[in-house]
Amino acid sequence: IGKSKVDDEILDELEEILISSDVGVETTVKIIRRIEARVERDKYTNVDELDRILREETAALLAENNSQDVKDSFETDNLPKPYVLMVVGVNGVGKTTTIGKLAHQFQKRGKKVVLGAADTFRAAAVDQLKLWGQRVGVPVIEHGMNTDPSSVAFDAVKKGMEMNADIIIIDTAGRLHTKVNLMNELGKIKRVVQKFLPDAPHEVMMVLDGSTGQNAVIQAREFTKVTEIDSLTITKLDGTAKGGVVIGISDEFKIPVKYIGVGEQMDDLQVFNKMEFVDSLFKK
Amino acid sequence: MFENLSDKLNKAVKTLKGQGRISDINIASTIKEVRRALMDADVNYKVAKDVTDRVREKAIDRKVMIAVEPGQLFVKIIQEELTELMGGQAQSINLKGSPAIVLIAGLQGSGKTTFSGKFANYLKKQGRQILLVACDIYRPAAITQLQVLGEQIGVDVYAEPENKDAVSIAQNAIAHAKSKGKNIVIIDTAGRLAVDEVMMKEVENIKKAVTPSEILFVVDSMTGQDAVNTAKTFNERLDFDGVVLTKLDGDARGGAALSIKNVVNKPIKFISTGEKMEALDVFYPDRMASRILGM
Ligand SMILES: Nc1nc2c(ncn2[C@@H]2O[C@H](COP(=O)(O)OP(=O)(O)OP(=O)(O)O)[C@@H](O)[C@H]2O)c(=O)[nH]1
Ligand SMILES: Nc1nc2c(ncn2[C@@H]2O[C@H](COP(=O)(O)OP(=O)(O)OP(=O)(O)O)[C@@H](O)[C@H]2O)c(=O)[nH]1
Ligand SMILES: [K+]
Ligand SMILES: [Mg+2]
Ligand SMILES: [Mg+2]
């Protein structure tokens, strides 16, 4: 006869692992409840099985990517043309770097990519994106610093279409979700772009720093208030931070995680893999 | 969730009062509530445990259970405990040497370059002659970023865009500073992960080459549980003198502050509260304690 209760010691250990990975108390409790329910129902017999259940239940909280089972999320064959991707997030999370890496991946697959430098605020932000453009070999549309970000975005879409671009990626300034004016500006950028191309942006990607703790949940909440968020990228997972907060976010807001950043070079972007991500949380 | 910690504790303690006896057992659920609030505020799991153990002792000592407002007293004890843990003797920055050398280090995107500019601005206003040094030779446009900030605040920036050796840039900068009669040299370095051996060695070598009077470790206040690993490694490699906590203009609880102080026992010296060059403040442990508790 198998044990139908998970013992406290295992649960304590589990709690420590999850909390230490930034999963957060609420989501951790949720995972533990799910496991207890599963164990109650299935009557687990050994620790190995429990381990598998645990991973499955954790992974189940991560929202599905709607584009069903794309093996390679860098694959963009069935997308509308041009596909406009706008990248948002708080300060310093890795937006510009992720854009450089994405441009490289799309370009490698024979797509024509154009970048729009709509961070006109942070010192040398335009230069940074231009250097990425050079590095990867894609054009960057810019109006220089301290110009209107909406006009830059508009122009990037317009010029991108003239250049027959497949993908247009718009960089935006880092902004804390507590700054109302800056948050409203995102809505404005979107509206201005839509004047030119009504379906744009086709995707708004929010970038999260993998070392961020529970504040990331509030970031997601506040950004989704001003614009739909279609995908998440989680960066800096090449360090010791686990990025576990994304589980609760993906669950609560039903946003799929698309990519992970694993370094500062142009090849350091990977397609998100649920099971690998969950396994990394439990790696000793 | 934690806005009403005081209410919650009031309730929890009152429930216990009905049970009539003050013991380790019936205080446990209240303590658990506190621990949860701390972890929600990104205080490291183990640190939260240590802190609540101490709070439990004090709560029993000070007879929380028979207080008129047990919740309030409880919160007061916690607040005092956190303040004490993050405070200690006020330590100023060490600007000895001619020139005095300040080295800035930390993870990617934590706010080092912005802080370097702010700190230069702050010292300049005290009448010092400052030289900013661009030792981030990796991040695209890192040098330009520092130059733009330098221009904004009217502080000279030393850079060698063609030089691929950060250590020699730092050394040359100091010679340059001496020849220009600068009092203080602030060295901005590239962001690096604690597990990146090559990069950790580099910053260690910069330290060896220039013997800074002050090394500041810059941390994003939104950082989660990993803050302790990072702080520990940076401290082992650099034996830094103080911590700068950035992006406190947001709504992050900033539990990392408590975790880091607990693990490396180095004072938090400055807080960064915005993108503008004026957004710099000194650190107040009591305010930080309230913030972590969401009050
Ligand atoms: N180790 C590591 N570093 C990264 C990764 N992604 C970005 N970075 C670094 O993080 C720092 C910030 O990256 P940026 O791309 O400038 O971030 P951002 O979100 O555009 O920043 P702002 O525009 O200032 O808000 C840089 O030093 C990047 O090299 C990653 O996946 N791993
Ligand atoms: N809101 C806010 N933003 C800040 C603060 N400090 C820095 N930033 C922003 O955070 C982002 C990263 O700051 P940087 O100074 O470039 O960070 P860094 O540590 O030098 O980054 P790397 O050199 O890439 O490692 C930029 O967008 C800054 O404007 C702060 O206190 N508040
Ligand atoms: K960060
Ligand atoms: Mg950027
Ligand atoms: Mg920098």
Q: Would you give per-residue pLDDT tens digits along chain B (295 residues)?
A: 344 566 666 666 666 555 544 455 567 878 888 899 999 999 999 999 999 999 989 988 888 777 777 777 888 899 999 999 998 766 789 999 999 999 999 999 999 999 999 999 999 999 999 999 999 999 999 999 999 999 999 999 999 999 999 999 999 999 999 999 999 999 999 999 999 999 999 999 999 999 999 999 999 999 999 999 999 999 999 999 999 999 999 999 999 999 999 999 999 999 999 999 999 999 999 999 999 988 8
Structure tokens at B78: 């916690």
Q: Which residue has the higher pLDDT, A284 or B142?
A: B142
pLDDT of residue A71: 54
Shortest Cα distance from A92 to chain B (angstroms)?
Answer: 4
Of A91, A93, A264, the one to substitute when testing ligand 2's pocket (max ligand atoms within 8 A of C-beta) is A91
Instruction: Give the mean model confidence (pLDDT) for residues A225-251.
Output: 97
Residue B28 contacts A where some CB pair is shorter than 8 Å: no
pLDDT of residue A46: 77
Query: Which of A231, A278, A219 minimizes the C-alpha distance to A257?
Result: A231
Q: b/e for B102-116, b at 16 or more Cβ within 10 A?
A: bbbbbbbbbbbbbbb
- What residues in A contact B142, CB-CB < 8 Å? 124
Instruction: Give the mean model confidence (pLDDT) for residues A54-69.
Output: 79
Structure tokens at A40: 């109650």
Look up residue A53 and give its amino acid.
I
Which of B50, B147, B225 to substitute to test the interface with A, most A CBs within 10 Å? Answer: B225
Provide the percentage of residues in chain A whose pLDDT is more than 70: 94
Residue B230 contacts A where some CB pair is shorter than 8 Å: yes
- What residues in A contact B193, CB-CB < 8 Å? 236, 238-240
| B247–A20 C-beta distance less than 8 A | no
Matching residue, tokens 């609880």: B253
Q: For the purposes of burial, counting CB atoms within 10 Å of the CB of B67, is it exposed (0-12), middle (13-18) or buried (19 or more)?
A: middle
Distance CA A156, CA A117 (A): 8
Q: Which residue has the higher pLDDT, A98 or A10?
A: A98
- With beta carbons less than 8 A apart as the criterion, state whether B33 and B75 touch: no
- List all residues of chain A from 245 to 274 with a beta carbon under 8 Å from chain B: 245, 264
pLDDT of residue B8: 67
Ligand 3 (single-atom ion) residues, CB below 5 Å: A 92, 209; B 109, 220
Residue B247 contacts A where some CB pair is shorter than 8 Å: yes
Taking all residues of chain A, what is their mean pLDDT, rounded to a whole number? Answer: 93
Q: b/e for A34-54, b at 16 or more Cβ within 10 A?
A: bbeebbeeeebeeeeebeebb
pLDDT confidence band for A69 (50 / 70 / 90) = very low
Distance CA A282, CA A280 (A): 5
pLDDT of residue A1: 39
**Lowest-pLDDT choice from A120-134, A238-252, B1-15:** B1-15
Phi, psi of A115 (to 5 degrees): -110, 145
Ligand 4 (single-atom ion) residues, CB below 5 Å: A 95-96
| B256–A19 C-beta distance less than 8 A | no
Of A209, A264, A268, A272, the one to substitute when testing ligand 1's pocket (max ligand atoms within 8 A of C-beta) is A264
Q: Is the pLDDT score of A178 beyond 90?
A: yes
10 Å Cβ neighbour count for B280? 20
pLDDT of residue B9: 67
pLDDT of residue A75: 79
- List all residues of chain B from 100 to 159 with a beta carbon under 8 Å from chain A: 107-111, 113, 138-142, 144-149, 152
pLDDT of residue B1: 37
| B110–A92 C-beta distance less than 8 A | yes
